[in-house]
């Protein structure tokens, strides 16, 4: 795969295929948890501390994480390793961890599942306020 890798609800996929419904409970009810972890020398910096914060935020917001920290670490490492090969050697990455309550508000009221979206972008990226998507800008 020559495009950036991401992870969504139990599966890896190309980052350009990530999508969440506008009816996702995270958007409808404001039930989202986000954490960012950057890399130094292509290794995640203090990932265990980020996972502890991420898990605490999910717990406090009643967004269950159904996988343990070793599995979350393996997911993060796979994404970072793959995406690091796609950027310039002097660039670093930012791992974006994002969890919502469920796929829709109706589903949120019935089920206790969480949607996990993990993406990894170059740290030199800028956020596009017009599209809501990250994009890489070079000078």
pLDDT digits (tens, 9 = 90+) for 9-68: 888 888 888 888 877 777 777 888 889 898 888 899 999 999 999 999 989 988 888 889
Residue 121 CB contacts under 8 Å (≥ 6 apart), including other chains: 4, 83, 93, 94, 96, 134, 136
pLDDT score of 25:
77
For residue 114, the model assigns a pLDDT of 47
Strands of the 11-14 sheet, one edge to the other? 11-14, 5-8, 115-122, 93-100, 32-40, 43-44
**Other C-beta atoms within 10 Å of 47: how many?**
21
What are 53-108's pLDDT values in tens digits? 999 998 998 888 888 999 999 999 999 999 989 888 888 888 988 888 765 433 33
CA distance linking residue 77 with residue 82, whole number of Å: 8
**Domain range holding 9?**
5-13+23-135
Number of structural domains, the chain? 1
Number of CB atoms found within 10 A of residue 1's CB: 9
Residue of 136, 31, 32, 131 lying closest to 94 (CA atoms): 136
**pTM beyond 0.85, yes or no:** no
Note whether residue 50 is domain-resident: yes
- Domain presence at residue 18: no
CATH number of the domain to which 42 belongs: 3.30.470.10
Is the predicted pLDDT of residue 129 greater than 60, yes or no?
no
Q: Give a yes or no: residue 114 inside a domain.
A: yes
């Amino acid at each position: 795969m020559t495009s950036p890798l991401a992870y969504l609800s139990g599966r890896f996929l190309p980052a350009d295929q990530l999508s969440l419904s506008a009816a996702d409970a995270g958007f409808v009810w404001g039930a989202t948890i986000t954490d960012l972890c950057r890399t130094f020398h292509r290794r995640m910096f203090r990932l265990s501390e980020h996972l502890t914060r991420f898990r605490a935020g999910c717990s406090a917001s009643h967004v269950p994480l159904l996988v343990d920290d070793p599995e979350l670490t393996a997911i993060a490492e796979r994404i970072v390793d793959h995406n690091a090969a796609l950027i310039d050697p002097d660039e670093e990455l930012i791992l974006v961890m994002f969890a919502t309550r469920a796929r829709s508000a109706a589903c949120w009221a019935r089920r206790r599942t969480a949607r996990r979206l993990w993406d990894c972008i170059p740290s030199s990226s800028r956020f596009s306020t017009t599209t809501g998507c990250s994009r890489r800008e070079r000078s």
